[in-house]
Amino acid sequence: MAAATSGAGRCRLSKMGAGRRPPPARVRVAVRLRPFVDETAGANGTFCVRGLDSCSLEIANWRNHQETLKYQFDAFYGERSSQQDIYAGSVQPILRHLLEGQNASVLAYGPTGAGKTHTMLGSPEQPGVIPRALMDLLQLTREEGAEGRPWTLSVTMSYLEIYQEKVLDLLDPASGDLVIREDCRGNILIPGLTQKPITSFADFERHFLPASRNRTVGATRLNQRSSRSHAVLLVKVDQRERLAPFRQREGKLYLIDLAGSEDNRRTGNKGLRLKESGAINTSLFVLGKVVDALNQGLPRVPYRDSKLTRLLQDSLGGSAHSILIANIAPERCFYLDTVSALNFAARSKEVINRPFTNESLQLHVFAPVKLSQKEQLGPSEAKKTRGPEEEEIGNPEPPALLASASQKFSPLQKLSNMDPAMLKHLLSLDRLLGSQGTQGTPLLSTPRRERMVLMKTVEEKDLEIERLKMKQKELEAKVLAQEAVDPKEKEKLSPTMHQPLARRTVTVAKPLKKAVVIPLQLIQEQAASPNADIHILKKSRKKKLECLDGSEPLEKAEDCWELQISPELLVHGRQKILDLLNEGSARDLRSLQRIGQKKAQLIVGWRKLHGPFSQVEDLERVKVMSGKQLESFLKANILGLAAAGQHCGAS
């Protein structure tokens, strides 16, 4: 009862502070110990779990039988606790969060045969969490959505099961496997899932009881009606504010009955039951991985590894107020399953959720005002449709028309106390705006400030339209004036239009200007020599071809630069190369172009055998010879080694 009181107090505080984001909320964990199935076993005292107080319990240590393991939770319910105790102490306090636009979830976890389905559904004599929660939630929505309250509330329900990693709609079994999606705001949704509106508990029973019979169950050695799937009941509460600013809230309640983990050696599962057991244990294993990842703060939480964890993304580490009810058995044969369930509950207690209010603003749209066929016509068309009597009277409207028109407008404008002449003027202005294609609420249906802004906008639009019309007329007059002008004057007015060229000039592309880079040492030697007047770049005149249409091409001289090597410089370069071949080492010979280590050694060896070289020849092919080709060439030509003077340089 202490837990229930603190929970209710927290609900009131969050209701008062609904405008700001609530602080993070930890997953609350409650443990329920079911009674002995066999009363004789309970009388013999063969139990393995014992409660210490309302929040703690102890279990025997399987490593050392003289020691016990103690666990501390938010609530502990012994074998004598009733369904009402569990509901009032742990589940009822979180229902108030749904009216604040927040999410909540209740999960029943434990091994097979521990009493999860009994805790969630119960019996006609002892209803479980689901019927009690729906009864109280519908009562709260009726009270909050009554006449005179600021909100209108509606409740819808959906019921599904996860059977062998398939999402099946229990309200519509023929729909097949459904997919789980996530919208742009991170909310988990299932497209195509049936939603049934409910307003009373009788409506809930009419939809829920037939759907419960569609859930997959089977018999095992431990349980005659063992749940073979995870069942999820989704209850959605929509709230809409009656007055401005017309807020909208949405709260979701997940009531989840998980299938129990099974030891196939004790359950005796075979065939289909063994396959179902494997799918159940796999999804529960992924659920444990999600809890561990959240506690360790890992960057990736494996929600997508299972359909169950994907659907529970809001409940564990998401935006819901979550309650985990761990069901355990007292028999010693369930010892390992009980220890596993308690360890999972202890880890789940450390998971932190961040609930927030799902609230949005929705513009309140007034009902569109329907005008009569005559009022929808423009001023010119309205004159054509007038009868002879109306032509004689002129603009004044009949009193009945004024009265009917005044009844169509919004109560924001009090038309009954207005001057008849002003009312007639406003009505004509409103019809004029309607004939010009204005959409939405008529002029008189808006407040005074918005009406003035609207009238100013219409006036600016009219001025803009008139300005554009005048500009268009000026352009049209200018075009007509240009067309009426003589062709000669037209040519003067449009200087940008040129006559086609009478001739075509074809020119020869100019060659690129080239220069030879000479080492500084060679330039100094040339300057010191008696023949210092050595020109490398000389100016010459090249001919340029020009041709006219229908005439022969003409030649035109043009100054340009071309490369001319003097004979003295060429002889000097040959002598430098010959001296290098006769006196240089293998390292000096490698400075010549395309002379490597192997070619340099061949030249030095040939010089030692046959003496110095006496002449340098111009043989271009020597530059691309291999070692064997050079050797055969030296044997055939003892005169010397070739290298082009203009392509070789001495170091």
344, amino acid identity: F
Q: Is residue 457 annotated as involved in ligand binding? A: no
CA 412 to chain centre: 44
CA 604 to chain centre: 75
Closest CA to 31 of 63, 73, 3, 68: 73
Integer distance in angstroms from the first to the last C-alpha of the chain?
104
SS3 458: helix
Pairing of strands 103-109, 320-328: parallel
C-beta separation of 137 from 154 below 8 A: no
Ramachandran angles phi, psi of 375, nearest 5°: -75, -25
Helix residue spans in 52-153 (DSSP H): 83-86, 116-120, 129-144
Say how far apart CA 486 and CA 477 lie, in whole Å.
Answer: 17
Q: Is residue 113 annotated as involved in ligand binding? A: yes
Q: Is residue 297 annotated as involved in ligand binding? A: no
Name residues whose C-beta falls within 8 Å of residue 606's C-beta, 6 or more positions apart in sequence: 634
Say how far apart CA 408 and CA 430 lie, in whole Å.
Answer: 12
60: enclosing H helix or E strand: strand 56-60
Phi/psi-derived region of residue 154, left when phi > 0, alpha when psi is between -120 and 50, beta in every other case = beta
Q: Is residue 176 annotated as involved in ligand binding? A: no
Closest CA to 226 of 274, 191, 194, 184: 274
Pairing of strands 247-257, 103-109: parallel
Q: Is residue 349 annotated as involved in ligand binding? A: no
Tokens standing for 161?
A: 């099961």
Q: Is residue 192 annotated as involved in ligand binding? A: no
Name residues whose C-beta falls within 8 Å of residue 538's C-beta, 6 or more positions apart in sequence: 561, 562, 564
Q: Is residue 114 annotated as involved in ligand binding? A: yes
Tokens standing for 93?
A: 């306090």
Q: Is residue 78 annotated as involved in ligand binding? A: no
Binding residues for ATP: 110-117
Residues of the binding site: 110-117
